[in-house]
Amino acid sequence: MKNYFKVTPASYLVFEKNGEILLLKRTNTGYYDGNYSLPAGHFESDETAKDVAVREAKEEVGVKISPKDLELVHVSHRKSPIPIDHERMDLFFMVKHWKGELINAEPHKHEEIRWFPMDSLPLNMVPEVRQAVTKIINGERYGDFGF
């Protein structure tokens, strides 16, 4: 049997309100701690990209979302430095509606959650997420990073 190339997929959530975007400040994760990112998660077995987004919305920011309220706005193919030459495929979904109050539901992984103006992103942002958010703002549906 042929061994196929493998990529690690993840879904990211873009919560936008009044020209601002919700970001989480990473802590105790071992990956860009002290930097802001979007709510996100890796796929588990038998999950669709939207299933991952729904699960992560509840786990990370405490809200319920419906798959019908997710719009795919960007796809990023990237090389991750950890481990060396590990490739990822990141899908970014705009969340059109949610139920509940956005909270820091994982304080052991996120130092804070905070809204930032889309035209004034923080300097300390996970680089590949900064690039993706910038492309989303500019209406670009695809990007690659680290090649």
> How high does pLDDT run on average in the chain?
95
Cis bond before residue 83 (omega within 30° of 0): yes
Digit-coded pLDDT (tens) for 7-26: 999 999 999 999 999 999 99
Sign of CA dihedral 25, 28, 29, 34: positive
Which comes out higher in pLDDT, residue 56 or 85?
A: 56
To the question of pTM greater than 0.85 for the whole model, the response is yes
